[in-house]
């Protein structure tokens, strides 16, 4: 029987998941820039070399900026994950005696 894990709502409300949403947005933006760079690379022959290098360097600079924005958000997401993991662990720990009673029966209830 799978354990029914119930975490108090006030514990969950204390875990900030906004960093995950922000990381998702940054990943989408980075994926778009990578696709543009790949497209640019495929059309490299159609541009003068200085133009290609300038546009490619601009895309690389934008990707670097996204990476710098993402790093502190990754740390926040890791902290949120640790908080959630601890909440689940605490929930399992607090229900362990009950699970043992359900699995083995309560000797004080035996006639």
Please write the tens of the pLDDT for every residue from 52-104.
999 999 999 999 999 999 999 999 988 888 888 877 777 666 555 555 555 66
Residue 105 lies in a domain: no
Residue 89 lies in a domain: yes
| Own/partner long-range contacts of 98-107 (Cβ < 8 Å, ≥24 apart) | 99/3, 102/1
Residue 101 lies in a domain: no
> What is the enclosing helix (H) or strand (E) of 87?
helix 49-104
Question: Residue 59: CB partners within 8 Å, gap ≥ 6?
Answer: 33, 36, 37, 40
Domain count, the chain: 1
Q: Is the pLDDT of residue 109 over 50?
A: no
So what's the pLDDT on residue 102? 56
pTM given for the model? 0.65
Q: Which residue has the tokens 């998702």?
A: 24
Distance CA 105, CA 83 (A): 33
Distance CA 73, CA 59 (A): 21
Residue 111 lies in a domain: no
Residue 71 lies in a domain: yes
Residue 20 lies in a domain: yes
Residue 62 lies in a domain: yes
Residue 76 lies in a domain: yes
List the domain range (segments joined by +) for residue 37.
Answer: 16-95
């Amino acid at each position: 029987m799978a354990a029914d894990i119930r975490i108090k709502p006030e514990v969950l409300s204390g875990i900030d998941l906004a960093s995950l949403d922000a990381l998702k947005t940054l990943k989408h933006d980075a994926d778009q820039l990578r696709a543009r760079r790949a497209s640019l690379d495929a059309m490299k022959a159609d541009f003068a070399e200085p133009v290609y290098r300038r546009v490619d360097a601009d895309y690389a600079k934008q990707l670097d900026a996204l990476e710098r924005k993402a790093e502190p958000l990754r740390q926040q997401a890791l902290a949120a994950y640790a908080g959630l993991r601890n909440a689940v662990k605490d929930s399992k720990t607090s229900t362990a005696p009950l699970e043992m009673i359900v699995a083995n029966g309560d000797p004080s209830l035996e006639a």
